Amino acid sequence: MRSIFVSLRQNTTMLRIDIITVLPELLEGPLSCSIIQRARDKKLVDINVHCLRDYSTDLKHRRVDDYAFGFSAGMVLQIEPVDRVITHLCSQRKYDEIIYTSPDGEKFTQRQANQLSLKQNLIVLCGHYKGIDHRIREHLITKEISIGDYVLTGGELAAAVITDCVVRLIPGALGDEQSALSDSFQDQLLAPPIYTRPAEYKGWKVPDILLSGNQRKIQEWEMEQSLERTQRLRPDLLDD
């Protein structure tokens, strides 16, 4: 039988996620639909999006970026508005992690999502433009996360991905909590094939074992399929 991750979060403890961005409108859709919205409605998670421009020292233009020192091309997020918003948030509560979404951060995995789902308060800073003043990374950030080896226009999509992965692990967020425990990557294995009705379509049949009603045999088959698919499609997971 596949090993599973069991959440230790108490249902009475609400997870709070504060996201800092220059483009809050990019997050409106992903954070107000489906599982995330249901979790918010159930008071399982409190997600707050903060516009970095509200903390700009330039009251007229609300500018938060400037040219880079040296000869680097592109604009850079300034340290002062970032420090202002993080200082403001940290004055209200203690944060377990202050995360920066960065292409050169630690690769985001299901294991990380499991760990973050057990936290109480998280800040996610979305990178933008060419990047952020490096002093932010040196003095304010506790963890850097990358969702893949590619570059996005900004970190908003990465923040949405991280939030979605974490929130769905909170007990009560999914209609069937066992569903999250059998997802791909929960135990470093890909999920086995899944099927639904009809049992036969255009001559394409569901494997007989899944129609047998024998739970032990079905679990053995699922484990074999998970191992086979992982060895064939993602052997690197087995190396880990």
Q: What is the CATH number of the domain that holds 192?
A: 1.10.1270.20
Last residue of a domain, one of 132, 167, 202: 167
Please report the pLDDT score of residue 234 as a whole number: 93
Asked if 209 and 140 sit in the same domain, the reply is no
Asked if 206 and 152 sit in the same domain, the reply is no
Sort 51 into a burial class: Cβ within 10 Å, 0-12 / 13-18 / 19+.
middle
Residue 10 lies in a domain: no
User: Is the C-alpha dihedral spanning 198, 202, 207, 212 positive or negative?
Assistant: positive
Residue 5 lies in a domain: no
Asked if 162 and 195 sit in the same domain, the reply is no
Please report the pLDDT score of residue 12 as a whole number: 57
Asked if 46 and 156 sit in the same domain, the reply is yes
Residue 232 lies in a domain: yes
First-residue to last-residue Cα distance in the chain: 19
The structural domain count of the chain equals 2
pLDDT digits (tens, 9 = 90+) for 33-63: 999 999 999 999 999 999 999 999 998 899 9
Residue 174 lies in a domain: no
Q: Which residues of the chain register pLDDT less than 50? A: 1-6
